Chain A
Amino acid sequence: MTGSLHIDWTRCDGRGLCTELLATLLTRDDWGYPISRRGDGIRGEVPIAPGHEEAAREAVILCPKLALTLRPPAKSS
């Protein structure tokens, strides 16, 4: 487990930059908001699959709404 990507839904505007940077993990829902491709990522915690740490870090930096945060692994809730 390499941690997860926390999405602050109160900030995210759904323009979808992160879904382009992390296209293997994320896709867009009906309204453009990022959603985990695997159907997990409950409560906006999207597990980061091994090998995607760098792209996830980049998404955190580039998100225009500062809506993304990396969370360390093995933290419940």
Chain B
Amino acid sequence: MTTPSAALRNVHPVPPPAGAARLFLAGSRAGYSQHLQAYGSIDVGAVAPGFLDVVEASGLTGRGGAAFASWRKMAAAAQAGGRGLFSARPVVIANGAEGEPLSHKDAALLAHAPHVVLDGVLVAAAALQTSHAYIYVTAETMPSVQSALAERTDARHIRPVEADDTFISGEASAVVNKIQGGPSLPLDKLRRLSDAGLRGRPTLVLNVETLAHIGLLARFGVDWFRSVGTARDPGTRLVTVAGAGTDQVLEVPGDASLHGILRSSGIHPEELSAVLVGGYHGRWVRPLDYRLSPAGSPETLVRPGVGVIYVLSPDQCGLAVTAQITEYLAGQSARQCGPCMFGLRAMADVLNRLADGERDPRLVAELERLGRIVSGRGSCHHPDGTVRMVSSALETFSDDVREHLIGRCTRIQRGTR
């Protein structure tokens, strides 16, 4: 990692991108030459372990759902790698599995800006002083990733691995499991991946968008990174706005206004009854003007999660949609852990009864009880995320729940279910 290849020498300095359009500057389906033209080259060989301080100062958080501080994850793997006499070199895994059915921001990124992601993988690997790197992507985006890898000489050691098309395939330990030849199912969490992940090596799993930001951060620096967004949520993020006739990927500033995002997708927030923010493990909210940020009070903000903003159209019943989503999530339980396997199914059944207009007031209490015994009792966060989404639905659609229980859901009668 010490001798940069010719392509990486800083032969083409380019001014840093201004504004919140950062990731797609090289245009549609950008090849390596367009990429270099838009962003200039980068000297990966100059990236040293001290780069972790740069990531810390940038305030970058993960863009794959959990919004964990990226430098902490990197530092954990770096420390585990440096420990002991026969310390194993760490492994960097770029996670592009994007199991959320409505999300395609990672697919868009890998199709149009694969080199921004690959730069990020190289930079993260250099910072961890390793050359073990994988990129884990769906069958759909694999061709674009493979041709990007073939276009440059410095990324030949990054090994592409195909992700299964399931909701859970992108869970970090499922990614590790799959790459080491197992099924793409989560592993028990007795040890952290950063201590012992892929074949026992310290392992860093970062979302492909997170890595893309790391690649640009290495080029343009902390001040540039923080010049968009706010102090608590710096930089930009990709979101997918879906539902109510819309389906698009946008790059928005950190701490963006939910209304602003909806309007730029051609949707009038005033006409909506609710949106589901953060994907199927996200939170239903009324379309008030929340900020989209991972840190702050839930009164005024909603966490972006995987960046999906699902818009409920006015003729849809929120309870019916929640029942359908829960049904899907129950079906996507990896069926390894009893409470998840049986509990999500049970929750979906109760929600279906409620959505179908069964007039039993005990249904809500039963959902809450199931939520309490399912939450936190699996090897991954699938049960917890599902329970959170369901309880946000009970709160946001509390009027609809009341109407259902007295047999008067106006939306059911319009036949949307």
Known: A30-B342, A30-B346, A31-B339. A10 touches B188 (CB 8 A): yes
B338 touches A14 (CB 8 A): yes
Task: Report A-chain residues with C-beta under 8 Å of the C-beta of B401.
Answer: none
- Asked whether, in the complex, the Cβ of A69 is within 8 Å of the Cβ of B190, the reply is yes
Q: Which residues of B contact A41 (CB under 8 A)?
A: 376
Minimum CB–CB distance from B281 to chain A (whole Å) comes to 16
CB-CB under 8 A from B189, the residues of chain A are 43
A contact patch SS: loop
Question: CA–CA, A6 to B379, complex, Å?
Answer: 11
Query: Residues 7-25 of chain A: 1 if any B CB is under 8 Å from the residue's CB, otherwise 0?
Result: 0111111100000000000
Residues of B within 8 A of A11 (CB): 188
**A39 CB-CB contact with B under 8 Å:** yes
Q: Which of B337, B343, B373, B376 contacts A10 (CB 8 A)?
A: B337
Given known A31-B338, A32-B338, A69-B190, contact A44–B346 (CB-CB < 8 A): no
For A59, list chain B residues within 8 Å (CB). Answer: none
Partner of B376, one of A12, A29, A42: A42
Taking a contact as CB atoms under 8 Å apart, the answer to whether A9 and B376 are in contact is: no
Contact residues on B (Cβ < 8 Å of other chain), bracket: 20 to 34
Q: Is A56 an interface residue (CB 8 A)?
A: no
Q: Which of B186, B340, B377 contacts A35 (CB 8 A)?
A: B377
Asked if B378 is at the interface of the complex by the 8 Å CB criterion, the answer is yes
**Which residue of the partner chain A has the closest CB to B381?**
A43
Interface residues of B, dominant DSSP:
loop
Query: Are B336's CB and A9's CB within 8 A?
Result: yes
Inter-subunit contact A6/B190 (CB<8 Å): yes
- Find chain A residues with CB under 8 A from B192 CB: 77
Is B372 in the interface zone, CB < 8 Å from A? yes
Min CB–CB distance A66 → chain B (angstroms): 11
Contacting pair A9 B373 (CB below 8 A): no
Closest to A11 in B: B188
Cβ proximity bits A36-67 to B, threshold 8 Å, 1 near / 0 not = 00010111100000000000000000000000
Provided the pairs A35-B373, A39-B372 are in contact, do residues A9 and B337 lie with their beta carbons within 8 angstroms? yes
Q: Chain A residues with Cβ under 8 A from B336's Cβ?
A: 9-10
> Are B339 and A10 in contact, with the CB atoms below 8 A?
no
A31 to B375, CA, bound (A): 15
Cα distance A32–B320 in the bound complex, in angstroms = 30
Decide: B346 and A10 in contact? CB cutoff 8 A.
Answer: no
Query: For residue B369, which residue of chain A has the nearest CB?
Result: A30
A9 near B188 with CB under 8 A, answer yes
- CB atoms of B339 and A9 under 8 A apart: yes
Indicate whether B187 reaches chain A with its CB closer than 8 angstroms: yes
Measured between beta carbons, the chain A residues less than 8 angstroms from B188 are: 8-11
Most chain B CB inside 10 Å of its own CB: which residue of A11, A12, A32, A33: A33
Residues of B within 8 A of A8 (CB): 188, 190, 379
* Chain A proximity mask over B368-410: 1 for CB below 8 Å, otherwise 0: 0000110111110000000000000000000000000000000
Cα(A11)–Cα(B377), bound, Å: 13
- Looking at the complex, which one of B187, B343, B372, B377 makes contact with A44 (CB distance below 8 Å)? B377
The answer on a CB contact under 8 Å between B338 and A9 is: yes
Chain A residues, CB < 8 A from B378: 9
Which residues of the other chain, B, contact A32 by a CB distance below 8 angstroms? Answer: 338
List residues of chain A with CB within 8 A of the CB of B342.
Answer: 30-31
Question: Closest residue to A12 on the B side, CB-wise?
Answer: B338
* Residues in A whose Cβ lies below 8 Å from that of B346: 30
| Shortest Cβ distance from A69 into B: residue | B190
13 other contacts beyond A10-B337, A44-B377, with CB at 8 A cut-off?
A: A9-B337, A9-B338, A10-B185, A13-B338, A14-B338, A29-B373, A30-B343, A30-B346, A31-B338, A32-B338, A33-B338, A35-B373, A35-B377
Residues on A facing B (Cβ under 8 Å): 6, 8-14, 29-33, 35, 39, 41-44, 69, 77
Which 5 pairs from chain A and chain B are nearest by CB?
A9-B337, A42-B376, A8-B188, A10-B336, A33-B338
